[in-house]
């Protein structure tokens, strides 16, 4: 029995493959092996002999098993091609990154859904606009400061009619385009990208998005605007929102007003977002100036309507508590992935 340990060492030295190893295992642990035969003899021994021989045989069996396992492990290490054969099923799976809409696109779609539910149509227009639709048709005087280099980027090339071109400074440029093609009554929203020649900071961008709403009919008045705006903001912020109008001036509306909404964060009680006033300024609006109707080809004093515009980024910032408008175009995936 003592020789077994020595012999197995010698036999294992010659083992080169797992098949060789299996042959050695059968020789030493198989049913017909010397060890198995001796283990069977235990049954025929006297209790005294069994008490002496049993633990010895067990120790030898354990030694053989351990030696075979060690050899097997060593063989697997050398014959295994880790690069080709490794499959670690305990590793967590690789997750394919799934994209989603940009937070601005998501916000635009949300805004569109609310207006569509109130019976509005969606209109569209070009991002590169001529001076007529961006300024003249909206009753901007020729010397209006908004036409200045400080507000608009102008393209160096003109179109085939010799008109000056610019990336539109507001979505209001689509108003007259739409009115030339359609007869009231109608209610539309115009979502789109706009461009301003101005320095950027946490609340200003050179490129951002706007929503224009235009409602034209026989007896449209300021109360309609106030009701629709209130319905829209209450739905968008999912809480009751109040609207406050302040007199203002825009060339394409008369009367014109800036409008504020009650702060959705503190519900009008006063907080840091609304600078303790309970109100947040969100956009401009007014009754469509009759001059604009005339420029669109409508009869003067025949229709009445209201127009209003607001920034999409501004609303998204309020809803999701984002403190820097530049994050939207930063391309920073840590920001984008939160939506």
Which of 12, 271 has the CB closer to Zn ion? 271
**Closest CB to Zn ion among 24 and 274?**
274
286 burial type by CB count under 10 A (0-12 exposed, 13-18 middle, 19+ buried): buried
Q: Which is nearer to Zn ion, 12 or 273 (CB)?
A: 273
- Please compute, for residue 198, the number of CA atoms within 13 A of its CA located in the half-sphere on the CB side: 18
| Angle, helix 103-117 to helix 222-237, in steps of 10 degrees | 130
Q: Which residues bind Zn ion (CB under 5 A)?
A: 263, 265-266, 271, 273-274
CA distance 178 to 253: 17
Beta carbon of residue 277, minimum distance to Zn ion (angstroms, whole number): 8
Is the CB of 241 or the CB of 316 nearer to Zn ion?
241
> Minimum CB separation from Zn ion for residue 259, in Å?
16
Q: How many CA atoms lie within 13 A of 140 on its CB side?
A: 19
72 vs 66: CA distance, rounded Å: 10
Quick one: which of 167, 134, 139, 108 has its CA closest to 314? Answer: 108
| Burial tier of 170 (Cβ tally within 10 Å: 0-12, 13-18, 19+) | buried
Least spacing, CB of residue 237 vs Zn ion, in Å: 12
Indicate the residue whose CB is closest to Zn ion: 263
Cis peptide before 196 (omega within 30 of 0): no
Contact 324, 201 (CB under 8 A): no
Give 258 or 291: the residue with its C-beta nearer to Zn ion.
258
Q: Which two tokens stand for residue 57?
A: 């045989």
71 with 21: CB under 8 angstroms? yes
CB 160 to Zn ion: min, Å: 51
- To Zn ion, the closest distance from the beta carbon of 274 in angstroms equals 3
Q: How far is the CB of 317 from Zn ion (least distance, A)?
A: 14
| Of 64 and 274, CB closest to Zn ion | 274
Give least dist CB 151 to Zn ion, A.
30
Q: Strand 253-262 vs strand 243-250: parallel, antiparallel, or unpaired?
A: antiparallel
| Residue with token string 């009753």 | 139
Nearer to Zn ion, 264 or 307 (CB): 264
Closest to Zn ion by CB, 174 vs 263, is 263
CB of 267 to Zn ion, least distance (A): 8
């Amino acid at each position: 029995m003592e020789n077994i340990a020595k012999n197995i060492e010698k036999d294992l030295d010659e083992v080169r493959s797992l098949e060789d190893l299996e042959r050695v295992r059968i020789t030493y642990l198989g049913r017909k092996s010397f060890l198995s035969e001796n283990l069977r003899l235990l049954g025929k021994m006297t209790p005294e002999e069994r008490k002496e021989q049993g633990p010895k045989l067990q120790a030898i069996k354990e030694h053989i098993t351990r030696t075979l396992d060690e050899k097997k492990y060593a063989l697997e290490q050398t014959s295994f091609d880790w690069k080709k054969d490794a499959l670690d099923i305990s590793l967590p799976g690789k997750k394919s990154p799934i994209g989603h809409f940009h937070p601005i696109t998501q916000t635009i779609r949300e805004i569109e859904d609310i207006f569509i539910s109130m019976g509005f149509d969606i209109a569209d227009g070009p991002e590169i606009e001529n001076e007529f639709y961006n300024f003249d048709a909206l009753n901007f005087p020729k010397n209006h400061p908004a036409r200045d280099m400080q507000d608009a980027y102008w393209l160096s090339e003109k179109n085939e009619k010799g008109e000056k071109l610019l990336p539109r400074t507001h979505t209001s440029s689509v108003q007259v385009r739409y009115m030339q093609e359609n007869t009231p009554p109608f209610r539309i929203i115009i979502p789109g990208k706009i461009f301003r020649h101005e320095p950027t900071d946490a609340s200003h961008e050179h490129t951002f998005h706007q929503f224009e709403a235009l409602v034209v009919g026989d007896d449209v008045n300021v109360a309609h605007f106030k009701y629709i705006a209130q319905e829209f903001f209450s739905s968008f912020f999912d809480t009751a929102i109040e609207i406050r109008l302040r007199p203002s001036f825009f060339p394409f509306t008369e009367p014109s007003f800036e409008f504020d909404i009650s702060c959705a964060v503190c519900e009008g009680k006063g907080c840091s977002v609304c600078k303790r006033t309970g109100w947040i300024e969100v956009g401009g609006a007014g009754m469509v100036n009759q001059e604009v109707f005339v420029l669109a080809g409508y009869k003067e004093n025949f229709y009445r309507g209201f127009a209003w515009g607001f920034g999409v980024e501004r609303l998204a910032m309020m809803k999701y508590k984002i403190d820097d408008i530049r994050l939207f175009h930063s391309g920073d995936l840590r920001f984008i992935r939160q939506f």
